[in-house]
Amino acid sequence: MKDILSLFFAYAKSGLKSRFQYRLDAIVATLAVFLREAGGIIAMYLALLKFDTINDWNIDELLFLFSLIFITYGIFIVFFMALRDFPDWIRHGDFDRVMLRPRGLLTQLVLCGADWLAALGHGTLGIVLFVISANRVGIQWNFAMAVYYVVAVISGVLIQGAVFLFFSAISFYVVETGRLKGIFYWNMRKFAIYPLSIYNKIIQSILIFVMPFAFVNYFPAQFFLRKPDMAAYPEWMMYISPVVGVTLYLLAYSFWLFSLRFYKSTGN
Amino acid sequence: MIVIQNLTKTFPGGITAVNDVSLHIAKGETVGLIGANGAGKTTLIKLICGLYLPSEGYIRVLGEPPFGRKSKSHPIGMVTGQIITDGYNYHFGHSSAVLQDDLSLELNLRLIKSIYRVPKEVYKRRLGELVPKLGIDQILHYRADQLSLGQRMKAEIAAVLLFQPDLLILDEPFIGIDVEARETIRNLLREMAAQRNTTIILTTHNVGELERICGRALLMDKGKLVYNGSFDHLKMKKFHIGLTKMQVVFEGMPPDLQDFPIERYVIESNTLTLYYDSSIISSKALSGYLLSQGKATDILIQKPTVADIIKEIYKEDEHKNDGENH
């Protein structure tokens, strides 16, 4: 453990040091992420002002729903950035280096890929959104709720991590996985910013069973908000995010281990 | 150290890059791997490093199958000077197997210290020796992807020597490196082999370079290991492997060769035989130039085959009186 921690600090230090050699670049990049995403939220906010509510969710509740996506994504890119960009790691030969070094493959990918500055951009926005919306929707915080929230965020990170670990494993077979990710992750993410109940059965099923964003934000948000549209789903769905996260992650990890044997170093 | 028995690697699409190779390399041995482009050298190296899973056969490196090695206490170092091409363009963006592109050399070295668990004092001592020896003090703050090919080789070698691998593999390490630095690197490798009993595998198409360092030669052709033995036996001192042969039949005086960097030429009655490296000289340009002088009546171009190479090697003594331009 101590060993992994010292490696973690070595990577974090070198990553940040190198980013801050170009200090202005680093600041602009962080700010750009923040502004780009904030711009998206403002656009959504303005659009929502036209409606009072969507399926009985008011604007603050919608922002609370949204904040879960941002916070989990902010943490996700600290740990899974390398998996997000994994095809590049293979194509440019960086994965050879990872294979040659005497440390766990995922340990290295996780530690080396961490993008602290982008995470800062996303994470800050998520926290700002969370603080504002959680306050305005009037959650009465207690210890159990705080624990639930932390567990839900970790589960959300694991679910998204599992999806990207799965896509990374696919890159051992096919070079181009960007489009798959576009369809399954980024498009579904756009759906996930609104309450699950507004969609038809097909999209709902995808968000629950295929690309389970519902367990990243909708069901955890329902635990706090208890909106009437929850009646359409079994109540236990609010509690299984950790199970979904851990199960998916283990499945994806097994698939990754299996697929590794198909790795073919680039060149020649 | 390395035991390979009937090892075969076939890639999807049916290309067999390494075909039924058997080989033993003892601890502390320094071995030179020779072969033309596409002979399977790099694939064999990557099989040894554990970057490819073998299709068939047996391979043990440091006592275990190299692909997905669990034991991390005996690191393998790999340095490659090969410029990767996709057939059209050079990929200068191809990352190094040792250094991380977006970090300065100094940060890279520090990271390597943590990854390979090099104790602080040892790190300082080795760095203190390596930096002046390799003359890399000026480039320590350069990002790895800003280094020139020669600088990058020196930097990678420094990085690898920092963690002192049990097995060191160098694939074309002398590309872009000046004579003086070559000498330094050669000495460092000899030191490693002598003091730490490091096993070293080296490929380069400059056979003379190999002979200075390596005790044994391995010759590959079309995926097969076709020679495994001493350099003395091969007697390949002055030859570069993989030369293309062009036979030009001419009338009157032999044609002028301008300043094409031909490795060797032989004139016999009305036939001029040229040996050159087709990766440096385009056969088309050379034959075009020769034809344009109006003296050549026939031109025959032959890609090198190992049979030719071996024949040439054994004919070395006969050639001594011929027009060698070495």
Instruction: Give residues 54 to 83 of B whose Cβ lies within 8 Å of A.
Output: 67-68, 72-73, 75-78, 82
Within 8 A by CB and 6+ apart from A162, the residues are: A245, A248, A249, A251, A252, A253
Residue B286 has a pLDDT of 87
Question: Would you call B222 an interface residue with chain A, using a CB distance cutoff of 8 Å?
Answer: no
Task: Tell me which of B43, B46, B74, B86 to substitute to probe the interface with A (most A C-beta atoms closer than 10 Å).
Answer: B46
SS (H, E, C) A22-79: CHHHHHHHHHHHHHHHHHHHHHHHHHHHCCCEECCEEHHHHHHHHHHHHHHHHHHHHH
Average pLDDT over residues A9-21: 82
Longest dimension (CA), chain B: 72
Q: What DSSP character marks residue B30?
A: E
Mean pLDDT of chain B: 81
Q: How far apart are CA A91 and CA B306, in angstroms?
A: 32
pLDDT category at B90 given cuts 50, 70, 90 is very low
Task: Tell me which of A25, A97, A103, A111 to substitute to probe the interface with B (most B C-beta atoms closer than 10 Å).
Answer: A97
Count of CB atoms situated within 10 Å of the CB of B92: 9
For residues A130 and A3, which has the higher predicted lDDT (pLDDT)? A130
- Is B98 in contact with A99 (Cβ distance < 8 A)? no
Please check whether residue A28 lies inside any domain of the structure: yes
What pTM was estimated for this model as a whole? 0.77
Please, what's the b/e burial string for A225-236 (b: 16 or more CB within 10 A of its CB; e: otherwise)? Answer: bebebbeebeee
Residue B86 has a pLDDT of 40
pLDDT category at B316 given cuts 50, 70, 90 is very low
What distances in angstroms separate CA B78 from CA A97, B169, B250, one per listed residue?
A: 9, 5, 48
Instruction: Give the range with max mean pLDDT: A94-98, B33-37, B278-282.
Output: A94-98
- Residue B48, both tokens: 């040894």
For residues A244 and A179, which has the higher predicted lDDT (pLDDT)? A244
Of B48, B40, B43, B46, the closest CA to residue B24 belongs to B48
Determine phi and psi for B160, rounding to 5 degrees: -70, -40
Q: What is the pLDDT of residues A47-56, one digit of tens each?
A: 878 877 888 8
Within 8 A by CB and 6+ apart from B41, the residues are: B33, B34, B35, B171, B203, B220
Q: How far apart are CA B264 and CA B323, in angstroms?
A: 7
Please check whether residue A265 lies inside any domain of the structure: no
A-chain residues within 8 Å CB-CB of B12? 264
- Is A18 in contact with B107 (Cβ distance < 8 A)? yes
A-chain residues within 8 Å CB-CB of B11? 264
Residue A267 has a pLDDT of 58
pLDDT category at A80 given cuts 50, 70, 90 is confident
- Is B51 in contact with A96 (Cβ distance < 8 A)? yes
Average pLDDT over residues B87-92: 42
Residue A221 has a pLDDT of 95
Q: Which domain covers residue A190, as residue numbers? A: 2-260
Residue B82 has a pLDDT of 63
Do the Cβ atoms of A12 and A115 come closer than 8 Å? no
User: Looking at the predicted structure, is the pLDDT value of residue B311 above 70?
Assistant: no
Cα end-to-end span (Å), chain A = 39
Beta strands in chain A, from DSSP E residues, in sequence order: 53-54, 57-58
Helical packing angle, A23-49 and A2-20, nearest 10°: 90
pLDDT category at B242 given cuts 50, 70, 90 is low
DSSP bridge partners of B18 = B9
Q: What DSSP character marks residue B167?
A: E
Please check whether residue A267 lies inside any domain of the structure: no
Do the Cβ atoms of B149 and B175 come closer than 8 Å? yes
- Residue B289, both tokens: 């130039």
Q: What is the pLDDT of residues A176-225, one digit of tens each?
A: 777 888 888 888 888 898 899 999 999 999 999 999 999 999 999 999 99
Please check whether residue A243 lies inside any domain of the structure: yes
Helix (H) or strand (E) holding B245, with range, is strand B244-250
A-chain residues within 8 Å CB-CB of B96? 93, 97
Residue B72 has a pLDDT of 65
User: Looking at the predicted structure, is the pLDDT value of residue B236 above 80?
Assistant: no
B-chain residues within 8 Å CB-CB of A85? none
Of residues A11, A100, A262, nearest to B76 (C-beta): A100
User: Looking at the predicted structure, is the pLDDT value of residue B89 above 50?
Assistant: no
Please check whether residue A205 lies inside any domain of the structure: yes
- Is A18 in contact with B95 (Cβ distance < 8 A)? no
B-chain residues within 8 Å CB-CB of A258? none
For residues A134 and A119, which has the higher predicted lDDT (pLDDT)? A134
Determine phi and psi for B317, rounding to 5 degrees: -60, -40
Please check whether residue A145 lies inside any domain of the structure: yes
For residues B237 and A61, which has the higher predicted lDDT (pLDDT)? A61
Please check whether residue A268 lies inside any domain of the structure: no
Q: How far apart are CA A83 and CA A77, in angstroms?
A: 9
pLDDT category at B309 given cuts 50, 70, 90 is low
Q: How far apart are CA B169 and CA B1, in angstroms?
A: 13
What distances in angstroms separate CA B174 from CA B91, B170, B186, one per listed residue?
A: 19, 9, 10
Q: How far apart are CA A221 and CA A200, in angstroms?
A: 20
ipTM of the complex: 0.79
Please check whether residue A256 lies inside any domain of the structure: yes
A-chain residues within 8 Å CB-CB of B49? 99-100
Question: CA A156 from chain center: how many Å?
Answer: 7
In percent, how much of chain A has pLDDT > 70?
99
Q: How many domains does chain A have?
A: 1
Residue B233 has a pLDDT of 66
Residue B318 has a pLDDT of 45
In percent, how much of chain B has pLDDT > 90?
24
